[in-house]
Amino acid sequence: MTSTRCAVIGVGYLGKFHAQKYAALPNAELVAVADASAETAAAVAEQWGCRAVTDYRELLGQVDAVSIAVPTTLHFPVARDFLEHGAHVLVEKPITSTVEEAAALNRLARERGVILQVGHLERFNAALMDLADRRGEPLFIESHRLAPFKPRATDVNVVLDLMIHDIDIILDMVRSPVKSLAASGARVLSDAIDIANARIEFDSGCVANVTSSRVSLKTERKMRIFQKNAYVSVDFQNRGLSVHRLGDKEMFPGIPEVVSEESFFEEGDALKAEIIAFLGAIQQGTPVVVSGEDGQRALETAIRISELVRQGAPMRDRPD
């Protein structure tokens, strides 16, 4: 079996799980982990029997592929350096801090002939993957992604932190240019936007109403898709899928039958599935599930929404 020499750059909260998956896969060899904290890098390296470095540049030209899980502001320089040295890159979302940086990475990946995949993990949710093969043309989409406040995620606003998951899914689902955007939101517990709502209108006529909050008391990740003769509800958190369609019969004269189907899926390992897909694209040439271009489109839309929200969002109150 072909084995790909891999490394993980940034092994904090999320990166350590990337290292775990690579170490367990038979078609991957975890060569090294890199982290600015020597202690963190050493602890993860010892656990999985690989090399630890504090400067990722020591690994340039030494590995075939990397996962990049450093802070968003560092995505571009780290990914650029590995792409320039011919390594395949899986970079956590958002792909970069700016659209210009994302475009530069995509150009570089094409020039070097290497894979650039973006870590929009929700694409590997079992319920969404089951829907992918039998979805129709969306007419209206409503999504809610709510979470309690977590200080570790405040390096970006809620649009780039949470809403971008749904933006990516919706753009992939609708596959039509964005016609117009409207958005509002507020800063609540951090200096960045903590709650936001966006209305996205597409050339196809589809409209998406998207809400994200990281200052909620509960966790909820749901999306409702309305299409001709059908209504679909996806519960990402509980891996549930409900499909309601018009049947061939009439319940009463002039009232059509509604046929309902509800499915729940076993708890899977979305990160493992994401990394398996990444390695499959490298080793077998299978299509990249979330390409660099996908990441760039999601980022562009998220930044436009963030700017609209920022223009109208009041500053949170500060103590004297």
More confident residue, 162 or 314: 162
Note the pLDDT of residue 315: 43
- Over residues 19-35, mean pLDDT: 98
Note the pLDDT of residue 190: 86
**Helix, strand, or coil (residue 204):** coil
- What's the pLDDT tens digit per position in 138-167? 999 999 999 998 876 566 899 999 999 999
Alpha helix locations (H) across 87-133? 99-112, 126-132
pLDDT at 313 over 60: no
Beta bridge partners of 135: none
316: pLDDT confidence band, cut at 50, 70 and 90? Answer: very low
Asked if the 126-268+300-312 domain carries CATH number 3.30.360.10, the reply is yes
252: pLDDT confidence band, cut at 50, 70 and 90? Answer: low
H or E element at residue 6: strand 4-9
- Over residues 291-298, mean pLDDT: 98
- What's the pLDDT tens digit per position in 61-90? 999 999 999 999 999 999 999 999 999 999
- Over residues 264-276, mean pLDDT: 92
For residues 309 and 290, give the distance between their C-alpha atoms in angstroms, rounded to a whole number: 26
User: 198: which residues sit within 8 A by CB, 6+ positions away?
Assistant: 159, 163, 181, 182, 183, 208, 209, 210, 211, 305, 308, 309
pLDDT at 317 over 50: no
Share of the chain above pLDDT 70, in %: 93
Note the pLDDT of residue 19: 98
When the pLDDT of each residue in the chain is averaged and rounded to a whole number, the result is 92
- Over residues 104-114, mean pLDDT: 98
- Over residues 113-122, mean pLDDT: 97
Strands of 4-9's sheet, edge to edge? 51-53, 28-34, 4-9, 65-68, 88-92, 116-119
Task: Provide the residue ranges of all domains of the chain, joining segments of one domain with +.
Answer: 4-114, 126-268+300-312
Asked if the 4-114 domain carries CATH number 3.60.15.10, the reply is no
H or E element at residue 174: helix 164-174
pLDDT at 297 over 90: yes
User: 56: which residues sit within 8 A by CB, 6+ positions away?
Assistant: 7, 9, 34, 78, 81
Note the pLDDT of residue 153: 59
Q: Helices 292-312 & 164-174, crossing angle to 10 degrees?
A: 120
Note the pLDDT of residue 310: 86
- Over residues 185-210, mean pLDDT: 94
pLDDT at 97 over 60: yes
320: pLDDT confidence band, cut at 50, 70 and 90? Answer: very low
- What's the pLDDT tens digit per position in 41-69? 999 999 999 999 999 999 999 999 999 99
